[in-house]
Amino acid sequence: MIDNKLYLVLMGLPARGKSTLAIRLQETLRKNRIPAKIFNNGNLRRKHLPAKDTFSAEFYHPENKAARLLRNNFALANIKMAKSYLAGSGQVAILDAANVTRTRRKIIEENLDNHPVLFIECLNDDEEILSLIIEAKTKLPEFSRLARKKAQVEFLKRIKNYQMVYTPLKDERNYFRLDSLQNKIFEEILTDKIPLHLLIKDILVTDMVKNLFLIRHAQTRFNVIDRIGGDSTLTARGIMQAKALGRFFQKHEISYIFTSNKKRTTQTARAIAERQKDCKIISLKEFDEINGGICEGLTYKDIEKNMPEVFNARKANKYHYAYPQGESYAMMKPRVEAGLKKVFFLNRHAQNIMIVGHQAVNRMILARFLFRREEDVPYIYIPQDQF
C-alpha cells in the first residue's frame, strides 16, 4: 500500500522565512485539494505563556533548563497534534519551529515514525533582509511592552542562543537544504519514498505573490523638462497624482510598498501609505532607476546634440547599450531580479503588495511576468498616471 501522508518539518534560525514558507506550502497544497495544516511551536507558546515570560532572550538560552523543558513540552504537544491530524483526514502536517538541534529532530523522527518525515532547512544570510525581518518580528506579542530598539536587541540575542546549538541537516533520512531568499535547493537527500515530493519541490523553488500592484512614481520636476535620472522631487501635479493613487487604493489593504531609494518613489509611496491602516514602506537600492552615467541630468535633446554617438548607439540597441559610466537594461536585469527576490521574501504572504518604481525598472519587472523579448523591453509603455 502506497503511503500518501507526510510530515513536513521546517528547520532553521529565527528570521529565515520558515513561517512564510509554511503558509506557502499549506495554501498551495490546499489549492491542490490536499488537506494540510501548520503546527507552529511559537504560536502554541504564545497561547499558553504570558509575554512577560518569553520576551527575554534568556528564555531561549540552551542552558536555561526550566525554559528548555517548557519549549520541549510545546514541541511534543505539536508533534502529538500533528500525528493525530494525519491519523484522521489530514494528509500533510507541517511542523513550523526552529528544530536546530539533532536531539530535537531525533525526537521528531522517533515520535512520527508512522509516515515519512521530510525536513526543510531554511538558510539566508542577507544582512539587509535579516534586519528588515527582525524589525517586523519586534511586533510579535511578546515584545508589545518593549521599545522597538530594545525588542530588536532581545531578538538578536535570541538568534545567537539558537546559533550556539545549531546543527545543520546531515544525518536525517530525508531533507532539502534551501536558500529561502533565492528559492534554490542546494542539497537534496531522499532516502525514503516521499509522497508529493515533486509538488513540494516545485513550491520551494517557485516565486509566489498574490496581488502585486506596479506603479510608476508621480510627475517630477525632471519629467516636466525631460531630464533623465537625478533625484528630483514631485511637482504640484505629481503630488496630486500621488494623492489620487492614495484615495484609489484606500479600498485595498496594502501591507507593503517597496520603492527605490529615490525621493520621487518614496514621496509617491508615502501618499499611498498615509491612507492605509498598517502599511510599511521598504526602500530597496535594487529598484533605483537605470544609471545614466555621464548623461544623468541631461535632456534627450542635449544628448542628441552634444553626444550624437551616444544617442545613436543607444537608439540602435537600447536594451544592451550602456550609458558611458552608467548602465544598460541588460546590466539592470540582475539587480532588479534581486530586488524582486527580496520583495517575494519580505512580503510575508500578504494579500496585496505594491512596488513604486521607475520607468526602466518597471519595464524590467513587467517583462519578467509578460515574457517579453529583450529588444521589446525598452519600449513597454509605462505611464505616470496609470498602473
Q: What is the domain count for the chain? A: 2
Same domain, residue pair 65 and 190: yes
The answer for residues whose C-beta is within 8 angstroms of residue 116's C-beta and 6 or more apart is 3, 5, 6, 7, 174, 192, 193, 194, 195
d(C-alpha 361, C-alpha 339), whole Å: 10
Same domain, residue pair 250 and 224: yes
d(C-alpha 99, C-alpha 119), whole Å: 10
Residue 46 within a domain: yes
Which tens digits make up the pLDDT trace of 334-347?
A: 999 999 999 988 88
pLDDT of residue 373 exceeding 80: yes
Q: Answer with the one of 175, 205, 235 that is the final residue of a domain.
A: 205
Same domain, residue pair 357 and 216: yes
3-state secondary structure of 43: helix
Q: Sort residue 31 into left (φ over 0), alpha (ψ -120 to 50) or beta.
A: alpha
Same domain, residue pair 157 and 232: no
- 356: domain CATH number is 3.40.50.1240
3-state secondary structure of 14: coil
Same domain, residue pair 99 and 225: no
Which tens digits make up the pLDDT trace of 127-155?
A: 888 888 888 888 888 887 888 888 899 99
- 126: domain CATH number is 3.40.50.300
Give the 3-state DSSP-derived string for 122-175, with helices as H, strands as E and coil as C.
Answer: EECCCHHHHHHHHHHHCCCHHHCCCCHHHHHHHHHHHHHHHHHCCCCCCCCCEE
pLDDT of residue 4 exceeding 60: yes
- Helices 329-346 and 127-137 sit at what angle, rounded to 10 degrees? 30
Residue 387 within a domain: no
Which tens digits make up the pLDDT trace of 187-218?
A: 999 999 999 999 999 999 988 888 899 999 99
Q: Answer with the one of 179, 205, 231 that is the final residue of a domain.
A: 205
Residue 1 within a domain: no
Residue 306 structural domain: 211-379
Q: Are strands 174-179 and 256-259 parallel, antiparallel or unpaired?
A: unpaired
Q: How confident is the model at residue 2 (pLDDT cuts 50, 70, 90)?
A: low
Residue 385 within a domain: no
Same domain, residue pair 261 and 162: no
DSSP code, position 269: H
Residue 384 within a domain: no
DSSP code, position 4: -
Q: Answer with the one of 177, 205, 233 that is the final residue of a domain.
A: 205
Which tens digits make up the pLDDT trace of 234-263?
A: 999 999 999 999 999 999 999 999 999 999
d(C-alpha 162, C-alpha 18), whole Å: 15
Residue 224 within a domain: yes
Same domain, residue pair 163 and 34: yes
